[in-house]
């Protein structure tokens, strides 16, 4: 059944008034204080937040240029998505207006270098990165990358990552969703609201998690692992 915007707004209003926890059968206790693992099997519409700060994914050639030929990333901490991790290595982003230091490299290495920043970071650097899904790097601005071994001037590759939800295809199917679908996400709390145009990224190597950037997290007063609710549109 197609849900109209009017019906969706009514649903959102009720959820915000009653609280997501009540909708999940958790009584008056707010989901903002519940760890994801305690409810993830009871309500598939609830997903935990993962906040992404500025970071960079490097290609093999750029890794060599910045950290030395044959250099390898040093694993610092595992990320929730299988096989991905934060590395010890840091780089500096240098734009036409300013620079940002200590930008974390994420592993593993990729075929193409991708730099993910916030809109405010773009102001600091003096560039206007578009909002894109990961991997969509056509017609994007570039910056100079500075590492301990050398520098690389990139002609493109800088984006502001669009918010999205990682999940297994089977989990998406339970919600009547598939890879590439868009949903709305309801956020509870004092600064609660609705995030529209959230893309479902359903793949086998996935762990359920909604990715947003720091600016979005601050706007909704969200922290890592806070639970939010998927509303199909």
**Upstream peptide bond of 20 is cis (omega within 30 degrees of 0):** no
Question: What is the SS3 assignment for 23?
Answer: helix
**CA dihedral sign of residues 199, 202, 203, 205:** positive
Give CA–CA dist 104/125, Å, rounded: 16
Spatial distance between the Cα atoms of 125 and 97, rounded to a whole number of angstroms? 5
Question: How many alpha carbons lie under 13 Å from residue 25 in its C-beta half-sphere?
Answer: 8
Per-residue burial over 180-189, b = 16 or more CB atoms within 10 Å of its CB, e = otherwise: ebebbbbbbb
What's the pLDDT score for residue 37? Answer: 46
Q: How far apart are the first and last CA of the chain?
A: 10
Interatomic CA distance for residues 11 and 135, integer angstroms: 34
**Coil, helix or strand for 33?**
helix
Write out the DSSP string of 153-217. Answer: E-SS-EEEEPPEEEE-HHHHHHTT--TT-EEEEEE-STT-EEEEEEEEEE-SS---EEEEEHHHH
pLDDT digits (tens, 9 = 90+) for 156-198: 999 999 999 999 999 999 999 999 999 999 999 999 999 999 9
Hey, what's the torsion of the CAs at 86, 90, 94, 95, to 10 degrees? Answer: 10
69-93: per-residue pLDDT in tens? Answer: 999 999 999 999 999 999 999 999 9
Q: Which domains does the chain have, with CATH numbers?
A: 5-51+163-232 (2.40.40.20), 52-161 (no CATH)
Between 144 and 7, the higher pLDDT residue: 144
Question: Is pTM, for the whole model, over 0.75?
Answer: yes
Q: 2-55, pLDDT tens digit by residue?
A: 555 555 555 554 544 444 444 334 433 444 444 444 444 478 999 999 999 999
pLDDT of res. 4: 53
CA 42 vs CA 32, 38, 48, 62: distances in Å: 16, 8, 13, 44
Strands 46-52 and 209-213 turn out to be: parallel
């Amino acid at each position: 059944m197609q849900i109209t915007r009017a019906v969706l707004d009514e649903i959102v209003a009720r959820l915000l008034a009653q609280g997501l926890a009540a909708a999940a059968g958790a009584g008056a206790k707010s989901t903002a204080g519940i760890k994801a693992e305690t409810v993830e099997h009871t309500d598939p519409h609830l997903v935990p937040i993962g906040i992404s700060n500025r970071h960079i994914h490097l290609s093999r050639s750029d890794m060599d240029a910045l950290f030395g030929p044959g250099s390898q990333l040093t694993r610092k901490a595992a990320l929730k998505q299988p096989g991905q991790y934060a590395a010890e290595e840091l780089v500096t982003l240098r734009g036409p207006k300013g620079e940002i230091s200590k930008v974390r490299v994420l592993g593993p290495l990729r075929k193409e270098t991708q730099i993910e920043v916030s809109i405010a970071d773009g102001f600091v650097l003096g560039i206007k990165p578009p909002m894109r899904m990961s991997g969509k790097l056509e017609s994007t601005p570039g910056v100079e990358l500075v590492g301990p071994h050398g520098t690389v001037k990139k002609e493109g590759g800088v984006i502001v990552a669009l918010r999205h939800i990682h999940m297994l295809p089977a989990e998406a199917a339970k919600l009547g969703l598939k890879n590439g679908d868009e949903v709305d996400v309801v956020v509870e709390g004092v600064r609660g609201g609705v995030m529209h145009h959230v893309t479902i990224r359903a793949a086998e190597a996935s762990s359920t998690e909604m990715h947003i950037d720091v600016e979005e997290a601050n706007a909704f007063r969200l922290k890592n692992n806070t639970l939010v609710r998927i509303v199909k549109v």
